[in-house]
Amino acid sequence: MIRKELKSLNIASTKEGTSTGQHWFGEGEILTSSSPVDGKDLKRVFSSSKQDYEQVLEKAIAAKGIWSSIPAPKRGEIVRQFGDRLRAQKSALGKLVSYEMGKSYQEGLGEVQEMIDICDFAVGQSRQLYGFTMHSERPAHRMYEQYHPLGIVGIISAFNFPVAVWAWNAALALVCGNVIIWKGSEKTPVCSIACQMILAEVLADNDLPEGISSICTGGAELGRWMAADKRIDLVSATGSTRMGKEVASTVAARLGKSLLELGGNNAIIVTPHADLKMTTMAAVFGAVGTAGQRCTSTRRLIVHNDVYDQVRTALIDAYGQLKIGDPLDVENHVGPLIDRQAVDNYLAALEDIESEGGRLLVAGGVLQGKGYESKCYVKPVIAEAENYYRIVQTETFAPILYLIRYEGTIADAIALQNDVAQGLSSAVMTNNLHEAEHFLSHRGSDCGIANVNIGTSGAEIGGAFGGEKETGGGRESGSDAWKAYMRRQTNTINYSDSIPLAQGITFNL
């Protein structure tokens, strides 16, 4: 069902990839990408052997001097061309994302649009890689700061956003003068190949070395190679907290740089002053969008006792209207989980909820029968729970929403929200100015993203994306996130005819 799109993206429609002399196909073990939509094999691709990995590094090292010597606005022009190619391929790539990952076609298109948006952002940024000028305390001296490319940026991305998160890193890293090596998720390798093909065409059309952008395909071992490799100047990793801790410790052991965007356990606080219609819409979309497989998915709904019963009733009614099925069908609201392992994690979480004393308001289960042959479709769940439950403290990548009651003030609700290990996204639904400002103050949300009257999921390119605590502390995408991809240097120029020494030291020379 995806053959036309694969052809449009210059990816062979045969099940087994064959060596074409291009390094992204590799010579290692064969990985089979199976769609969670219908359980069918999409394509078989070669994983990267250690020899393949070394060849990729050699090409990246050879290319980095050439690329960093090109003026930043010219590098921005290459990224602009990439964005234009994405516009031309938006429909085909969006459908591939939907089919290989399982998110809705509209979300697939939205993910490609995020790629286009970050390219536009990066093009502008290529003319604004600013430093600072400072006054020196020494006469006839000038001081300033400037930023230089790091060299090689390694990008590790997750299955849930198989193309957009790479583009967030790639577009900024490239305009900053770095070359990039990408390890996409082994669960969505065809999406990685498609993006690399598009960018490789742009580089070839401009007579630029292919080592400016490379991909390697594989699992955790490949990620470990990248994390331990001193030749990679920055490792930007998106995924689970467990994975991030391993990457961070390995990179830190060699005093390297890492940028981490890890797990979330996101909450919406609903106060007595909330618009309940808006609340229901934000909570449902946040909890079931992408089948609960976003790092910004709404996991917890912390509701004041005064409106708890109303919110609970509205949510149960809304969940009764959800349509679960093929994500390429625009009539459906919820698609499949990525694979059977994700389904097993979902089922284990349901058992834990009940064993800890929680109560299922909307029961779960795996859907069977026609249209659900992949056995990856599950029912979205609402559970009444307590914030301290172990399972509530854990991020489960599935459509499970915990309904938690609070009494007292906004400060009490914020304390519950912050009482988890993760700190990515958060929101409060209120029309009370005091509550909104308290939530956004230094005494409020401890998350990297804090919203008022909008849900936890979704982000705009213009703002830096990332979180605190076990979310890793990194920032990707907009604002001044570009600085993470460059090294900072302070320069002092003496244009006098003497050298003043520190602390008044003199020499009789």
Nearest alpha-carbon partner for 214 in 173, 158, 256, 263: 173
Please, are residues 182 and 216 in contact by the beta-carbon 8 Å criterion?
yes
Question: Active-site residue among 107, 111, 186, 261?
Answer: 261
Nearest alpha-carbon partner for 181 in 328, 21, 64: 64
Helix, strand, or coil (residue 472):
coil
What are the residues facing 400 on neighbouring strands? 381
- Look up residue 501 and give its DSSP letter: P
Residue with tokens 């209120």: 430
**Residue 261 is among the residues annotated as catalytic for this protein:** yes
Helix, strand, or coil (residue 180):
strand
**H-helix or E-strand spanning residue 403:** strand 400-406
- E strand segments, 458-500: 464-465, 468-469, 476-477, 486-494
Q: CB neighbours (10 Å) of residue 169?
A: 29
Please, are residues 468 and 418 in contact by the beta-carbon 8 Å criterion?
no
Q: 54-77 in b/e burial notation, b at 16+ Cβ within 10 A?
A: ebbbebbeebbeebbebebeebbb
d(CA 395, CA 248): 20
d(CA 154, CA 250): 14
SS (HEC) of 127-160: CCCCCEEEECCCCCEEEEEEEEECCEEEEECCCC
Nearest alpha-carbon partner for 42 in 91, 92, 6, 90: 6
d(CA 209, CA 480): 28
d(CA 164, CA 158): 10
Q: 102-120 in b/e burial notation, b at 16+ Cβ within 10 A?
A: bbbbebbbebbbbbbbbbe
Active site residues: 261
